[in-house]
């Protein structure tokens, strides 16, 4: 067990703990004759079986074969789907415990004590599995944690049912209805999430927006043509077709690798980033260099003036200087600069390095304006 990954260790520990709970509940049943504690033992057995399914799903989801070269990651979601159905029926089981099994034949101590201990252990185990599941982004482990929470609730109902029997007050009926509603809701959420992944639904919008922003941070990328993302088990797969301003296939390949590294660095559990690229077809004719105190600046909105250049025979040539129309205003700089670019027929902005103003850069790229990084921009100004 020491060499196993964290998710496998958690699943194995869950199997051992839940099976221990099954044994002590069955022992309590033989010592007390309580049908309620026996039903709770059966419910705990479903928790053991579900943990076993999770363990098998985690182990086999990591296997890659010739027949399944992309892995079996969706086995985790399939296990989560099965667990959602188990949890759903567990809700009915809990209601049955509260409404049907009320009578004890002998010895109240054992079912009361075991139900209390079981609810405490199951609750702690649930928190442990939920925390670990979120850390490793395991949908099946999270589902198993929720199932353990239902086991804890089941034991609580048994505890109050037995206690209510001692006081001749049926507390378990109201509790069963409330608990069942929570269980049905959790089951539906798990079922919905599992089905979405199994049907290759897109990843959430916030993650997709973050991926788009990461891609557009690269000055070589002029436009995102299409982008898709999907979940498979705990992992994320991304595909994108990008328009790039590059000169060679090797340069495009290098940019694609850097984009992949950036996405995997910023977003957890990205297994694959597949990028196709199309070269920019637009020919660069006219550009401007933002200048402040006669030196190139990365802060376009704060520049004193824009040096206008044209491209001849793969070389830039200065043709004029225009004061920055946004230099005297604090608001709406981006809109003013966009109007200037359109009026002057600008194709690109030349900068010495990637700029910090991401918002304005996205606006420029959205209009098809290229961001041209030129380390020797000072030579262009002095020519």
Q: What is the CATH number of the domain that holds 254?
A: 3.30.70.1350
| Domain end residue (candidates: 279, 296, 320) | 279
Higher pLDDT, 152 or 162: 152
What's the number of domains the chain is made of? Answer: 3
**Contact, 41 vs 29, CB < 8 A?**
yes
- Taken as a whole, the chain contains a residue count of 383
Quick one: tokens of 308?
């206008």
Mean pLDDT score across all residues of the chain: 78
Kindly state the helix (H) or strand (E) to which residue 318 belongs, with its residue range.
strand 315-323
Is residue 214 assigned to a domain? yes
Quick one: tokens of 261?
């590294």
Residues 239 and 267 both lie in one domain: yes
Q: Which of 67-71, 155-159, 374-378 bottoms out in mean pLDDT, i.e. has the lowest?
A: 67-71
Residue 200 backbone zone (phi > 0: left; psi -120 to 50: alpha; other: beta): left
Quick one: tokens of 4?
């196993």
Q: Which pLDDT score is estimated for 316?
A: 76
Is residue 1 assigned to a domain? no
Higher pLDDT, 206 or 166: 206
Residues 233 and 95 both lie in one domain: no
Residues 120 and 257 both lie in one domain: no
Over range 176-191, report the average pLDDT: 67
- CA 184 to chain centroid: 24
Residues 293 and 367 both lie in one domain: yes
Q: Return the ∠ at Cα 382 (arms to 381 and 383), rounded to 5°.
A: 95
The residue whose two tokens read 């980033």 is 273
Residue span of the structural domain in which 268 resides: 205-279
pLDDT tier for residue 349 given thresholds of 50, 70 and 90: confident
Q: Return the ∠ at Cα 136 (arms to 135 and 140), rounded to 5°.
A: 110
| Domain end residue (candidates: 198, 217, 245) | 198
Quick one: tokens of 307?
């040096």
Q: What is the CATH number of the domain that holds 106?
A: 1.20.1510.10
Is residue 68 assigned to a domain? yes
Residues 54 and 145 both lie in one domain: yes
**Contact, 242 vs 198, CB < 8 A?**
no
Residues 91 and 141 both lie in one domain: yes
Residues 149 and 238 both lie in one domain: no
Residues 28 and 62 both lie in one domain: yes
- pLDDT tens profile 61-78: 666 667 766 666 677 677
Strand 270-279 vs strand 315-323: parallel, antiparallel, or unpaired? Answer: unpaired
Is residue 252 assigned to a domain? yes
Higher pLDDT, 327 or 104: 327
Residues 180 and 222 both lie in one domain: no
Phi, psi for residue 279 in degrees, rounded to 5: -70, 150
CA-closest candidate to residue 244, choices 270, 220, 218, 214 = 220
Calculate what percentage of the chain has a pLDDT beyond 70: 78
Calculate what percentage of the chain has a pLDDT beyond 90: 5
| Domain end residue (candidates: 240, 255, 279) | 279
In DSSP notation, 242-300 reads: EEE--SSHHHHHHHHHHHHHHHHHHSTTEEEEEEEEEE--SPP-EEEEEEETTEE-S-G
What is the C-alpha to C-alpha distance for residues 161 and 289, in angstroms, rounded to an integer? 78
Is residue 300 assigned to a domain? yes
Is residue 112 assigned to a domain? yes
- pLDDT tens profile 297-312: 888 888 889 988 887 6
Q: What is the CATH number of the domain that holds 292?
A: 3.30.420.130
Is residue 151 assigned to a domain? yes
Residues 127 and 64 both lie in one domain: yes
pTM, 2 dp: 0.51
Higher pLDDT, 334 or 138: 334
Rg (C-alpha) for the chain, rounded Å, is 31
- pLDDT tens profile 203-243: 778 888 899 989 988 888 888 889 988 877 667 889 999 98
Residues 48 and 88 both lie in one domain: yes
**Contact, 295 vs 352, CB < 8 A?**
no
Does 266 have pLDDT greater than 80? yes
Residues 120 and 183 both lie in one domain: yes
Higher pLDDT, 359 or 42: 359
Is residue 41 assigned to a domain? yes
């Amino acid at each position: 067990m020491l060499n196993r990954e964290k998710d496998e260790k958690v699943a194995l520990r869950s199997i051992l703990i839940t099976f221990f709970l099954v044994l002590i509940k069955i022992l309590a049943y033989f010592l007390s004759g309580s049908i309620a504690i026996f039903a709770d033992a059966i419910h705990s057995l479903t928790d053991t079986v579900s943990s076993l399914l999770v363990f098998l799903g985690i182990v086999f989801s990591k296997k890659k074969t010739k027949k399944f070269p992309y892995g079996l990651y969706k086995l985790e979601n399939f296990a989560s789907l099965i667990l959602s159905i188990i949890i759903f029926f567990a809700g009915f089981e809990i209601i049955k415990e509260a409404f049907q099994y009320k009578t004890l034949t002998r010895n109240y101590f054992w079912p009361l004590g075991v139900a209390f201990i079981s609810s405490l252990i199951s609750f702690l185990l649930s928190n442990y599995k939920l925390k670990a599941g979120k850390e490793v982004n395991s949908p099946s482990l999270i589902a198993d944690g929720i199932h353990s929470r239902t086991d804890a609730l089941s034991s609580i109902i048994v505890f109050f049912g037995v206690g209510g029997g001692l006081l001749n007050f049926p507390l378990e009926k109201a509790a069963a209805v409330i608990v069942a509603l929570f269980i049905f809701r959790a089951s539906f959420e798990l079922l919905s999430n599992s089905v979405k992944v199994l049907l290759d639904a897109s990843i959430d919008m916030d993650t997709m927006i973050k991926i788009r922003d990461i891609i557009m941070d690269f000055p070589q990328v002029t436009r995102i043509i299409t982008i898709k993302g999907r979940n498979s088990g705990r992992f994320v797969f991304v595909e994108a077709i990008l328009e790039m301003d590059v000169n060679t296939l090797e340069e495009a390949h290098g940019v694609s690798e850097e984009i992949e590294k950036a996405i995997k660095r910023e977003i957890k559990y990205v297994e694959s980033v597949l990028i196709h690229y199309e070269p920019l077809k637009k020919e660069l004719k006219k550009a401007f260099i933002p200048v402040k105190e006669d030196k190139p600046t990365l802060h376009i909105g704060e520049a004193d003036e824009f040096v206008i250049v044209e491209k001849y025979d793969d070389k830039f040539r200065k043709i004029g200087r225009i004061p920055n129309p946004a230099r005297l205003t604090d608001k709406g700089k981006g809109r003013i600069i966009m109007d200037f670019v359109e009026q002057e027929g600008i194709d690109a902005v030349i900068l010495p390095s990637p700029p910090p103003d991401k918002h304005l850069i996205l606006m420029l790229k959205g209009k098809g304006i290229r961001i041209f990084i030129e380390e020797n921009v000072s030579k262009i100004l002095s020519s």
